[in-house]
Amino acid sequence: MTEEKKSLNFIEHIIEEDLKEGMSSDSLRFRFPPEPNGYLHIGHTKAIGISFGLGLRYNAPVNLRFDDTNPAKEEQEYVDAIKEDIAWLGYQWDKECYSSDYFQQLYDWTVLLIKEGKAYVDSQSAEAIAEQKGTTTEPGTDSPFRDRSVEENLSLFQKMKDGEFDEGAHVVRAKIDMADPNMLMRDPLMYRILKKTHHRTGDDWCIYPMYDWTHGESDYIENISHSLCSLEFKPHRKLYDWFLDQIYSSNIRPKQREFARLNLSYTIMSKRKLLRLVQEGIVSGWDDPRMPTISGLRRRGYTPNSIRKFVDTVGVAKRENVIDVSLLEFCVREDLNKTASRVMAVLDPVKLVITNYPKDQEEWLTAENNPEDETAGSRQVPFSGELYIEREDFKEEAGRKFFRLTLGKEVRLKNAYIIKGEGVVKDENGKITEIHCTYDPKSKSGSGTEESKRNVKGTLHWVTVKHAIPAEIRIYDRLFNHEAPDSDKDKDFVEFINSDSLKIITGYVEPSLKTGKLLEQFQFQRLGYFNMDSDSTAENLVFNKTVGLRDTWAKVKPVQEQHKSQKPQQNNKQAVIPAIEEVKRAGKKYTNLPDEKRIVLKNKIQEAANNVTIEELEPLYGTAVKKVGTRIATMIALGIVLKNNKLKPNQEAKDFINKALEDKNELLQLEAKELASTYSL
C-alpha cells in the first residue's frame, strides 16, 4: 500500500477502515464489470478510473469481468472494443473473466435454493408478475405458483434448461418477501428463457441468469473484496447481500458500495440511445468523433492522459451531478499543449504574393516543433514568394486594433519575414483573389539582425502554394445543442441534434504532415488541435478538429428558461440574487482560481448573463484597473448579452474592449480579443 498523503475519498476511507479492522491488504481485489452490449463511453471512464486507480493505490489486482448474461444484446465486437479501450487508457487487468464462465455454478446454486424452498418456478406472464409487485406504499401479492412443491420446481427448471419451453413460458424467482419495503426484494427474477446464441457459450444454454443473481455471485467466485457500483445500484445492495447469504461459506465476502456516476453536459450516456444514433445513421459509427465513446474520443484526438486527468479532477462523490463538458475539453487542450507538434495549416485560403521576393526562389526555414517541450526539436518548412494565408487574417481597411495584415501595415510571417500589405486583386464580384505585399529580406526570424528584432504586433501562419498539400478537414462541434438532450419528456432526444456538428472543408497543410501517423495529434498554429483521422491515406489526408486553442463555445440558454429556473420556491425564504450581482461576485474570485475551476465559473457567468441587460453592464465598463476580475466577468457577460440580443457594440462598449486589448492581464486580453474578432473591431 502506498504512503500517499493526499486526502482520501469516501471509498478509500471504507477500505482503510476495513484494513484497520483486520482485513489483509493481500485480500484486496477489485473488478470492472462491463456488459458487452455496446462501446464504452466517457461515463464509464469514472468507474474504470476508480477500480483500476484503487488497484494502483493498494497494489491490488483488478479483474476485467464481462457480465455477459443477455445474448440478445451482447456481441464479441463489444468485448474486443472494451478491451482495446481499457488498454488504450493505460490500465492493465489481472484476470479476464466472464459471467458465462459461471453459468454451471449459478445453475447448481439455483437448484440448491429450490431444494431449500428459497426459489420457485413461476409460470405467469411478465405482465401478471409486474401487476403483483405492488407499489411503494402497498405490499405485493403472492404468485399462485409460489408454493409449488420442490419436486415440481426442480422438474420444471430442468425442462427449462433442456429447452422444452418457449421464451416467456416460465421464469425462476427467489422466494423472499412480497411485502418488503424494497420492491427489489419482492421475489425477484433469477432466470428467464432466452433461445439466443451466446457469443461464447453458443447454444449450450437457453436459460440465462438475471443480473442481480449473477453480479454478487460472480464477485464471490472471484474473491472480489469491494464491489463498486454507480448509485442506481444502491437499492440493489439489500438483494446483493441476500443472495450472498444463501451461498456464502469461507471465501472473501464482497462488499458493495456505490458512487455517483459521471454525467456530462451536452452528452448522451445511454448505450441504448447511442446505439440508436448508430443504427439510424445520425453518426457514422460507434467511433464517430462526435460520439462520447472512448473509441470516438480517441479518433477525435483525445489522449489517455487527458481523460485520466479529467476523471481525477471530477473526483469520487456520493451525490449525482452534471459535469460541464468544457472541463473535459480543457483537460485535452492542456495535455495537447504539452505534447502536440506545432505545424502550419490554412483552412480558408487566400493567395499572398510577395512582389519583391525573387521569382522561382525557395528556401527552407527552421520551425520549432513545440515550445513547451525542449526535446521536441525543429523541422524545416519551405518558403517562397507565393503563399496561402487565412482569409480572415487580411482586411483592406481595418482599425488600429486589427493586428493582422492590412494595406500599409506590417506583420510577421511565422518563422519567416516581416511583410507589408501593398494591394489586392479582385474578381468580377469584388472578392479578393490575391493580396500583394513586399517583404524585408533582412527581417528573417532568428537571423539576429536589427531588422529581425523589429516589434510588429501581428504574426500570421502560412503555407507555400507550391508545397501545400490539400487535406480534408473535419470541423467537429458538440453533437447536441441542448445541455441535457434526454431530459425533456415531451421531446425525442434526437430533436436536439446539432445540425452543424460536422463541417467538412478542404484546406492546405505544410508538407511535413505527409509523413504523419494515423491518429497523431498536431496543433495547427493559431487554429486549434487536430489529429490525422484513420480514414487518411497517402493520397488523401484527413484531419479531425479535436478542440480549439481556447474555449469559445458559449453555453446560452433561452432567457425564458433561465427565468423559470431562477424562480424561487414557495417555501424558500432565501432571496434570489440578481443576475448582474452574480456576474460581479464571480468576477471578484475569477483570477484566483485554477484553470479547471475558472472554466466552471466562466460558464456560470455566461448563464447569469442571459438575464443581464446592456444597461446593467455599462456602469461596469469603468471598473478600476486593479479590479481585473470584475472587468473580465463584464467582458464575458458582454459577449453573451450582445449575442442574445443581436446587438453590435456601441461606442462605450468598443472603448471598453479596446482598452482591455492593451491591458497587461492575459485573461482579459483573451476575452477582449474574442469580442474584437467577432465584431471586427
Nearest Cα neighbor of 165 from 207, 220, 130 is 207
Burial class (CB in 10 A: 0-12, 13-18, 19+), 540: exposed
Is 37 one of the annotated binding-site residues?
A: yes
Grid cell listed for 334: 492542456
Cross-strand bridge partners of residue 122: 171
CA torsion, points 586, 589, 591, 596, in degrees to nearest 10?
-80
Distance (Å) of CA 133 to CA 50, 119, 125, 215, 238:
35, 17, 13, 22, 17
Distance CA 194, CA 206 (A): 5
Instruction: Round to whole Å and give the CA distance between 525 and 347.
Output: 11
Q: What is the DSSP letter of 416?
A: S
Number of H helices, E strands in the chain: 19, 29
β-strand partners of 171: 122, 192
Q: Is residue 167 part of an annotated ligand binding site?
A: no
545 flagged as catalytic: no
Nearest to 55 by CA among 88, 21, 86: 86
Q: Is 261 one of the annotated active-site residues of the chain? A: yes
C-alpha distances out from residue 431 to 425, 427, 487, Å = 8, 5, 46
CA dist list (Å): 254 to 30, 60, 211, 234, 479: 10, 15, 16, 15, 40
CA-to-CA distance for 169 and 322, rounded, in angstroms?
42
CA distance 6 to 114: 50
616 is in an annotated binding site: no
Q: Is 67 annotated as a binding residue?
A: yes
Catalytic residue among 35, 75, 84, 520: 35
CA torsion sign, 446 to 452 to 455 to 457?
negative
- The 3-state secondary structure of 365-409 reads EEEECCCCCHHHCEEEEEEECEEEEEHHHEECCCCCCCCCEEECC
Phi, psi of 598 (to 5 degrees): -65, -35
341 is in an annotated binding site: no
Alpha carbons 478 and 442: distance in angstroms, whole number: 46
Residues 6+ apart with CB under 8 A from 296: 39, 286, 287, 288, 289, 290
Taking the mean position of all CA atoms in its chain, how far away is CA 434?
41
- Ligand-binding annotation for 35, yes or no, is yes
Encode 158-210 in three state secondary structure.
HHHHCCCCCCCCCEEEECCCCCCCCHHHCCCEEEEECCCCECCCECCCCEEEC
Using CA atoms, how far apart are residues 231 and 260, in angstroms rounded to an integer? 5
Known catalytic membership, residue 298: no
Looking at residue 25, the DSSP 8-state letter turns out to be: G
- C-alpha angle 54-59-64 in degrees, rounded to nearest 5: 60
Decide: helix, strand or coil at residue 104: helix
- The CA-atom distances, in angstroms, between 154 and each of 163, 208, 279, 353 are 14, 16, 42, 88
Options 148, 173, 186, 261, the catalytic residue: 261
**Grid cell listed for 330:** 480543457
Catalytic residue among 29, 31, 192, 271: 271
Distance CA 293, CA 278 (A): 12
Is 269 annotated in a binding site? The answer is: yes
The strands making up 349-354's β-sheet, listed across from edge to edge, are: 459-460, 410-413, 418-426, 432-439, 349-354, 386-390, 463-464
* 118: Cα separation from own chain's centroid: 45
445 labelled ligand-binding: no
- The annotated binding site for ATP is made up of 35-37, 261-262, 269-271
- The annotated binding site for L-glutamine is made up of 67, 211
- The annotated binding site is made up of 35-37, 67, 211, 261-262, 269-271
Question: Catalytic residue numbers?
Answer: 35, 261, 271
